[in-house]
Structure 1
C-alpha cells in the first residue's frame, strides 16, 4: 500500500511517498487475531478489542521510505536533508537526483519543475524504457488492445492534460507497437516450407542418420540441425566483445559497457578501497549475483559465511561499504563445467585475496 503525503514548513513543501510492508510478523499474531474474533462475538461494540488489534499491528508493521521528493528554499537545505536521512542508520544510503537543464526533475512517472512559483507537471517515461507493450497484431482479444492504448493516454491526461509533448511521445510509442491508421490485425505465423528447425547435439554420423530416418518416417514437420560439440577453443576463449551501453539509470556496475545483463560469465571484482580482488562465476544475469555481493558487504551480520561479509568485517570494519569495480573475464559460457574451468584458470592466474580457502580449493580441482 503506497501513500503520498505533503507537508508545508518554513523551508517549503516536502512530499514523501511511503510503502507499508510486513517484513517481520510476530508468530503469535494469528492467535491474537483469533482471540480478537472471539471477543467480537461476545461484545461486538467492545472498543477495547479494536485498540488491542491496533496495538498488535503497530508493533509488527514497519513503514519504509521508498522515494522522497523535497523542495527546499536553497540547495544547502536539500543537501542537509539528505545528510539527515543518511545519518539515521548505517544501512541507509539515499542518493540525490537534481533537476535537468530544462529544470524538470523526474519523479516516478512524472516530471516536475517550478516556473515563476507555479508547478509544472508532465507525464514521464524513463529513458531506459524499451516502450514494449501488447502489440496490435498479437492474438489477444480486441478489447485488450483497445484498453492498452486507452490506459496509456488516460494516464498521461490524468498527470498533465493538453500537453503536446506527452501526446507526441504517446503517439510514437503506440506507432512502434503497431497502433496506427486505426488498424489492428492479428498476425498469422508463417510456416517454413521445409519445417521448423530442430537443433540436436551431434554425436556421430550413424546416430544422425537414424534420427533423420525416424523423423521422415513419422512425417514430423521439422528440419533437423545437428550442432557440433564445443571444441577446446570454444571452452577456453570468449570471442564476443562488449555490445552496448547499459540502459539502466545510475547503474552501479556498468561504466563504458553493458555487462549487468550478461549470463554465463566469469568475473573479477576489485574492492575500490583496498584493491583486493574476488573471482567468481554465474549462469544468472550478472546484476543478480553482484547484488548478492553488495548485500553481504552492506549487512555482513546477515551473511556470516560469505566471502564479502568477512572482507567487510576484517578489512573495512569501521568504514562504509566500499564500491565494487567489476570486470568480465569470460562470457556466454552456458555449461556450468565450462564456467568452473575458466574460473579455476583465472583464480590460479590472479590469486584473488577475497575468495575463501574453500572456494580456491574447490575451483582448483577442475584443473588439477
Structure 2
C-alpha cells in the first residue's frame, strides 16, 4: 500500500497536456491537483519496470497489489524519483491485514475479506440521542453507520459482528435499540428513490418542529430541519470580522428624532443603502425613499438619526429576507415603512412573542 502525502497548492501551476488556459482558469485547486495526479500516475506506472496488478487511489491514499517476488521498495523509489515535490510513503500489510480509508482488508485462504476499520484513537462518541437536534439527524447517523457496515462487510458473519458492535456503541450514546432497522438499508433506499415529495427546510425548535412535521405529513410534504444555534456558529470565525455598516443581506432599522422607526432590507452593503437614503433626504427625492418622504412632508423635528442605524436581522435568501422584514414590522405602532409582502395571520402570535422577548 502506498500512502501519498497531501499535495501542495503549487501543483496547479504545472503544465498539463491537452488542457487549455481557459479550462485552467475555472478549475479549483482540488480538481487541478486530482487531474495532475492522474497524469502523474500514468507517467509513473507507464515507465515502471515492474507494474502492480492493482492501483487504486482516493485523494491522497493509494492501494496497490504487488504480485512480484522483487521487493516493492524498487517501485517506491521509482515513483519518488519522477517529481521531487511529490513523495510517497509506504505501509505494508501486517498480520495479513491492511487498513485503507475506513476499510480493513484481510488476506485469507479464499481471497480477501473486508470489514469496517476504526483507528486506535476511536472513542465511540457520536451525537448524543438526548441532544437538542431533530430526530431525523440522529436517525440518519444510525442509518449511515448501518449502511457503512452493509457496504463494507464482505460476508454475512462480518456484517452481523459489525452490527453488534454498532448497537453497543449507539447504546452508550443513549440511542434506543429500535433506531437500527432490521431491513437492509439498500432495499429501503431503492423504495425511497422512487418517491420525491416536495421538501421544506425549517429551523429546529423542539416541540414546535415536530408539530409542523405532523401537519405536513398528510399533504406529502417532507420537512427537513436545521440547527440555527450551534457551537461552531458562535465560536468559530473563519473570516475576519468586518465593520457592521459593510454587512450585506440584512434587515435594518433607522430611528427618527420623533421616535418613529423606518425598517427595510437590502442585499447590498448597509453603508451603500444608508447613503442612498441620505442623498434622497438632501436632494428632496421623496419618490425614491420613504425616509426622505417623511422628512420633507413633516419637516419639523423629524430628522433621521444616522448614527443610530442598526442591523436587526440577516438573511441571504431574498424571499427569506422579505419574510423577516415583514415579521419585524408587525406589532410596531411607530413604524413608517410598510411590509413588502403579506404574512398569514396564523404567524402573528408567535412573531409578537418573539418581538417582545
TM over 0.5: no
- Please identify the structure whose Cα radius of gyration is greater: 2
- TM class by shorter-chain length? 0.3 to 0.5
Q: TM-score by structure 2 length?
A: 0.34
Q: TM-score by structure 1 length?
A: 0.33
Higher helix share: 2
